[in-house]
């Protein structure tokens, strides 16, 4: 077994003793147990049957195609949280929030299986979650537990099922990485107080949608693609896995930025990713690691949710890159009013 690596249970125990919350610790541990079981099934792959087969009506609560493993992941986490101090369960795979036990203090929002379009291709997929407090009676209570801005999260993270199964977690005391030891099913701390590298030259975006993007995003990408001959004066590498957890883990390790903007296609006018159970937890994880997350301009965790499945544009990663993209949005009108030398391509842009 692994030696010298603090277990997730021990880490959370120490955090709780230092002023954390036992209910949050118990909830994280319940999800870790469910994730370990799910990881074993994912590792078996097609030997477990057609886990990538489309099931039911083909539409999840969040409006995406639903596959067998989506449903199984949702069941695994829901059932795992029945024994945790969780009152409210809100999932991408369910149309409405579900009350598990109205007497409990926490609410969990979850994307049980991010990147499920990659199930058959053996690409890393994952689970994203956010833990909120249930508001006290008189301020919205249990009905609005998941309709709080992301800054109210008590903890957040994501599991990634790849060459190693890992948990990237924050309980608002830094961001830490725990790796699953398949020999005993225990998550162990392998990278503490992660800090997202700055000034790295990588970005993740689906370039096939270029013609649909708003102008500030096209301008930003144009400047990156121009490379050393363009206004940025250096070459950049593009990455796109179509699995947000895979992109996020790479950026957490190597730096860079993830961009999923709104665009002009039907259904994408407000972005594609969900605020409550995708953008908010990613934002907290990255801010706690010295990064940032916005909708292009506004801090993600300051946005007031209106519905469980609300969509939002999402930019996260190294703080310097996230802030630069915001400038492309806020300064666009000024640039366009200038002479051609100083306009669209931003030749002298900072």
**Interval 3-53: pLDDT, tens:** 579 999 999 999 999 999 999 999 999 999 999 999 999 998 888 777 657
Domain spans in the chain, listed from the N-terminal domain onward: 8-191, 202-342
User: Is 222 known to be catalytic?
Assistant: no
Q: What are phi and psi of 271, to 5 degrees?
A: 90, 180
Indicate which residue of 23, 72, 93, 223 is catalytic: 93
Indicate which residue of 70, 247, 263, 287 is catalytic: 70
Indicate which residue of 278, 284, 287, 314 is catalytic: 278
The whole-model pTM stands at 0.91
**Cα 297 from Cα 299, distance rounded (Å):** 7
**Residue bearing the bigger pLDDT, 162 or 142:** 162
Nearest to 88 by CA among 132, 32, 129: 132
User: Helices 68-81 & 22-44, crossing angle to 10 degrees?
Assistant: 150
* Bridge partners (DSSP) listed for residue 279: none
Per-residue burial over 116-141, b = 16 or more CB atoms within 10 Å of its CB, e = otherwise:
bebbeeeebbbbbbbbbbbbeeeeee
pLDDT on residue 20 = 96
User: Is 287 known to be catalytic?
Assistant: no
**Which CATH fold topology does 202-342 show?**
D-Maltodextrin-Binding Protein; domain 2 (3.40.190)
pLDDT on residue 52 = 59
Indicate which residue of 72, 111, 223, 287 is catalytic: 111
Q: How would DSSP label each residue in 38-60?
A: HHHHHHHGGGG--TT-B-TTS--
**Which CATH fold topology does 8-191 show?**
Fructose-1,6-Bisphosphatase; Chain A, domain 1 (3.30.540)
**Cα 51 from Cα 39, distance rounded (Å):** 13
**Cα 222 from Cα 245, distance rounded (Å):** 26
Residue 56 has pLDDT above 90, yes or no: no
User: Is 64 known to be catalytic?
Assistant: yes
User: Is 111 known to be catalytic?
Assistant: yes
- What is the average per-residue pLDDT within 102-121? 93
Indicate which residue of 8, 23, 64, 181 is catalytic: 64
Indicate which residue of 72, 92, 181, 295 is catalytic: 92
Residue 170 parent element (H or E): strand 165-170
Give the side-chain half-sphere CA count within 13 A for 48: 16
Indicate which residue of 8, 12, 113, 314 is catalytic: 113
Indicate which residue of 23, 114, 223, 247 is catalytic: 114
User: Is 93 known to be catalytic?
Assistant: yes
User: Is 50 known to be catalytic?
Assistant: no
Residue 291 is classified by DSSP as -
pLDDT on residue 59 = 53
* Bridge partners (DSSP) listed for residue 110: 91, 129
Interval 259-296: pLDDT, tens: 999 999 999 999 999 999 999 999 999 999 999 999 99
User: Is 92 known to be catalytic?
Assistant: yes
User: Is 302 known to be catalytic?
Assistant: no
Which residue's entry shows tokens 């004066």? 233
């Amino acid at each position: 077994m692994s030696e010298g690596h603090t277990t997730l249970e021990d880490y959370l125990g120490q955090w709780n003793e230092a002023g954390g919350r036992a209910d949050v610790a118990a909830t994280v541990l319940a999800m870790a147990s469910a994730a370990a079981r799910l990881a074993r099934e994912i590792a078996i792959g097609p030997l477990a049957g057609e886990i990538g087969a489309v099931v039911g009506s083909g539409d999840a609560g969040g409006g995406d195609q639903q596959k067998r493993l989506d449903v199984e992941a949702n069941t695994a986490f829901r059932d795992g949280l029945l024994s945790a101090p969780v009152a409210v369960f809100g999932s991408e795979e369910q149309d409405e929030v579900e009350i598990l036990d109205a007497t409990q203090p926490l609410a969990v929002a979850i994307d049980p299986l991010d990147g499920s379009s990659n199930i058959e291709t053996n690409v890393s997929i994952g689970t994203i979650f956010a833990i909120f407090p249930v508001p006290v009676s008189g301020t919205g209570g249990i009905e609005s537990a998941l309709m709080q801005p992301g800054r109210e999260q008590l903890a957040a993270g994501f599991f990634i099922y790849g060459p190693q199964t890992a948990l990237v977690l924050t309980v608002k005391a830094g961001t830490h990485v725990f790796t699953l030891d398949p020999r005993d099913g225990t998550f162990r701390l392998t990278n503490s107080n992660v800090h997202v590298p700055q000034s790295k030259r990588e970005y993740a975006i689906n370039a096939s949608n270029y013609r649909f993007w708003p102008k500030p995003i096209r301008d930003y990408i144009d400047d990156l693609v121009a490379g050393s001959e363009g206004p940025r004066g250096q070459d950049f590498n593009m990455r796109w896995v179509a699995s947000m957890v895979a992109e996020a883990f790479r950026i957490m390790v190597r730096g860079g930025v993830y961009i999923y903007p709104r665009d002009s296609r039907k259904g994408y006018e407000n972005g594609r990713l969900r605020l409550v159970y995708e953008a908010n937890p990613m934002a907290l994880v990255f801010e706690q690691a010295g990064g940032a997350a916005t909708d292009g301009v506004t801090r993600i965790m300051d946005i007031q949710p209106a519905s469980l499945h609300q969509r939002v544009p999402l930019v996260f990663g190294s703080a310097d890159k996230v802030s630069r993209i915001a400038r492309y949005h806020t300064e666009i009108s000024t640039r366009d009013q200038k002479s051609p030398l100083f306009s669209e391509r931003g030749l002298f842009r900072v």
